[in-house]
Amino acid sequence: MTTPEEFRLRFPALTETTYLASCSQGALSDMLATALLEFQHTLLEYGAPWEQWLEQVDLARQLFADMIHATTDEIAVVPSLSAAAYQVASTRDWRSRPRIVTTDMEFPSVAHVWLAQRGTDVRYVEDRSGVVYAEDYDAAIDETCGLVSVPLISYRNGVRLPVESVLEKARSVGALTFVDAYQAAGVVPIDVRQLGCDFLAAGSLKYMLGIPGIAFLYVREGVQDAVDPQATGWFGRRDPFAFNPRVIDFPANARRFESGTPAIPAAYGAVAGMRVLASLEPKAIQGHIAELTEYAHSVLDDLGTPSDPSLRDPQVALIDPNPNELAEFLRARNIVTSPRGELLRISFHYYNTSDDVDAVAAAIREYRK
């Protein structure tokens, strides 16, 4: 099995940088750097090799399907999580079930889409000291719910939400479910069959070790649309290369949620990132990260992440009066973190070690003097 130290060698910048910002952008691997050069080579050598490019898109679709234990027919390739959420929302008829249940811990990229739907009643489940409890979701979910949205892990402080309980409650009243897995995919084992969700979305630039511009939407086989997707394009056709401007024929599978030309460089990046991750055991990644977060809790003060290990996964969050200033101080010492709001996010991947925790803890003590 590949050790964290061996895995770390695939990320050249980590020889001089303490990288603790995978919750925002994954570190650059040797495979990702090579993939981006390969895309440039296709431009220089072939000009517009569409068949070759679309092979990368389909490969990215397949690798993501494998990662979450889905089939390729259940995966749509989309440009962002906002696009994924909009495509889901646009196919619903909210008249009979107008309520959407979400949470303050959801990233605005998703929450704003729900809030923008006309004729809906958006209910926000509030956190209690940075934690969301199943009973609070349960109180908001009833037979008027058309959709229940829950992130696997919150972007704010890395807290794990009670996803399984929330999905079970939603199913009991006949509501569809949307899971935001952006802060989990790549470091947390995901099995959509076990979860039983209707939709799940994630992108490649964070823990999946790719670049911005591509995301993936899982659509459970058998989910019926009340109306056709409202944002469409030539890749949302049964045969994109039929080039018939007079016909809109939606595929029966998840590709009906696709629209325009995919971001080809991002597809190359997504393939590279998921191939790097494929060399690892998901449970080994999660176990290593659990050790790092536990260690971080033992050496860092003023944390806004729960002390209960069952409520956290790849991230700890530091409470600070000016997290942006602190992040700049750390960056000057080659320590990369990710400030958000009143918190400094410190996130871990399989390439991180306890030395990284020691480095950021020492720098924070120096800053606070």
**pLDDT single digits (tens) 196-230:** 999 999 999 999 999 999 999 999 999 999 999 99
Look at the pTM and tell me if it is higher than 0.75.
Answer: yes
| Helix ranges restricted to H, the chain | 4-8, 30-46, 50-68, 81-90, 108-115, 134-140, 163-172, 192-195, 264-278, 282-299, 323-331, 354-368
Q: What is the pLDDT of residue 313?
A: 87
Question: Can you tell me the distance from the alpha carbon of 158 to that of 166, in angstroms, rounded to the nearest whole number?
Answer: 18
- In Å, what is the CA distance from 352 to each residue of 103, 158, 219, 314, 349? 30, 17, 33, 11, 6
Taking 90 as the threshold, does the pLDDT of residue 324 lie above it? yes
Q: What is the pLDDT of residue 369?
A: 85
Residues 78-134 have pLDDT tens digits of: 999 999 999 999 999 999 999 999 999 999 999 999 999 999 999 999 999 999 999
SS3 118: coil
Q: What is the pLDDT of residue 1?
A: 82
Q: What topology does CATH give the domain 39-276?
A: Aspartate Aminotransferase; domain 2 (3.40.640)
Mean pLDDT rounded to a whole number for the chain: 96
Which pLDDT band, with edges at 50, 70 and 90, does 22 fall under? Answer: very high
Q: What topology does CATH give the domain 4-20+281-368?
A: Aspartate Aminotransferase, domain 1 (3.90.1150)
241-259 burial, b if ≥16 CB within 10 A, otherwise e? Answer: eeeeeeeeebbebbbbbbb
Q: What is the pLDDT of residue 91?
A: 97
- What does the domain layout of the chain look like in residue ranges? 4-20+281-368, 39-276
The vertex-89 CA angle with 128 and 179, nearest 5°, equals 45
Q: What percent of the chain has pLDDT over 70?
A: 100
